[in-house]
Copies of this chain bind each other. A is one copy, B any other.
Amino acid sequence: MASTLRLCLPRGTTILPAPVRALSSSRCLLTPSQTRRRPYSIAAPDASDQRLRAIDLSNFSITKTTTPKQLTANEKLIFGRFFTDHMLSLEWTAADGWLDPKITPYQNLSLDPATCVFHYAFEAFEGMKAYKDKTGQVRLFRPDMNMKRLNKSVARIALPTFEGEKVIELIKNFCRLEERFIPSQRGYSLYIRPNMIGTQKTLGVGPPGSALLYVIASPVGPYYPTGFKAISLEATTYAVRAWPGGVGASKLGANYAPCIVPQMQAATRGFQQNLWLFEDVDERTGEKEDFVTEVGTMNLFTAIVNKDGQKELMTAPLDGTILEGVVRDSILQLARERLVPEGWKVSEKKFHMREVADAAREGRLLEVFGSGTAAVVSPVRSISYKGELVNCGLREDQQVGPVTLRMKDWIEGIQYGEEDHPWSWKV
């Protein structure tokens, strides 16, 4: 509750005036859809701002470790547990801007216990991967999307933005240095975690006067090492992940800790993940429904035969409550390019659990899958919803449906350079 107001804004951040909203004098019952606030606007920092230092690649320094780690055997890799020899760091201060980027041996951060990241969750991250193709070439998958999203996330919590293309250059250098940690086997990769934290060491609640952007990396195996294993979901009806006017679209630490207990509760009942719903009025019927948003830490796709008899691949729209997944975007683009010619309809639209349950009951639910950087796609066998177990279209002996599998193959084909595609960036 304690606070002091610091009026200084971090330089390089432009604050736009708040949107003006007209007073409504209508006397009608409010539907939750009508309660939606406009997302507020934060302009990207002006690149021509001469007051602050931009990232300077010419002063990039590399200090190599003198104690290189032993590689972990592929079969022993556990997501995010083993890290490479080095880390990439960029410090920022409100007075100077971005200080010189550096690669150093992987090491602890030494921070004052009053540092704002510990108290007020000034933290935003990204998840991306480096892949080794058959020729040994290292590749990144759409890193520009990660940089764009990280800039959006950090701006939302008053942390400094940066030139994404320069950080991609630095990450490429980092990947080259850590190349021996990137497994060459298909399905294996180097998980890269850019993370930005506020480092100001005072307890006043205000924009951080200093920050640290750092990148660490962890070699990882395939999410399903022995082939797909379809997961079962429990729909969470007592907690809400995100809401209109909140921060659900940003990849903030703040969106993660509050999601663990619902996930644990689902796990105690035998479900591998929880499904996040958002209760709202279905404007077509006027009825309240539980709209499908995300699953655990993934976006969610549903393939049905719709009431017009057409095959339709659906995912929730980017309305401010949905994380703007890079794999989500890739699936949508590939589906529009490759499934639509086969007669599919591809929709970013609101849909609710009763529609999914009805489709299942009527034999129209084809497949459900999550999408994310870790698993690419994650097939779903069933969803527990209000006492009903909705069967998501897989036969008992089947772990993945054809659309899910094709998506995985298409995307991995691009990631591992088997298909030549502009999404795959050679390092």
Q: How many subunits of this chain does the assembly comprise?
A: 2
Interface positions, chain A 259-298, Cβ under 8 Å from B, are 259-265, 267-269, 272-273, 279-281, 286-288, 296-298
Give the distance in Å from the alpha carbon of A123 to the alpha carbon of B32 in the complex: 31
A156 proximity list for chain B (CB < 8 A): 258, 261
Tally chain A residues at the interface, Cβ within 8 Å.
121
Contacts of A387 in B (CB 8 A): 20, 23
In the assembled complex, A83 has its CB within 8 A of some CB on chain B: yes
Give bound CA distance, A35 to B9, whole Å: 37
The answer to whether residues A195 and B253 also contact, given A37-B237, A214-B113, A279-B30 and a CB cut-off of 8 A, is no
- Determine if A120 is an interface residue (Cβ-Cβ < 8 Å): yes
Greatest chain B CB density within 10 A among A125, A193, A203 is at A203
Q: Which of A322-375 contact B (CB under 8 A)?
A: 323, 325-327, 371-374
A136 contacts chain B at the CB level, 8 A cutoff: no
Alpha-carbon separation in the docked complex, A280 to B262 (Å): 26
Is A240 an interface residue, CB under 8 A from the partner?
Answer: yes
Contact in complex: B244, A113 (CB < 8 Å)? no
* Contact assessment for A288 and B30 in the assembled complex, using a CB-CB cutoff below 8 Å: yes
- Closest B-chain residue to A4, C-beta based? B79
**A374 lies within 8 A of B261 (CB):** no
A5 touches B265 (CB 8 A): no
Q: Is the CB of B117 within 8 A of A118?
A: yes
Quick check: is A76 within 8 A (CB to CB) of the other chain? no
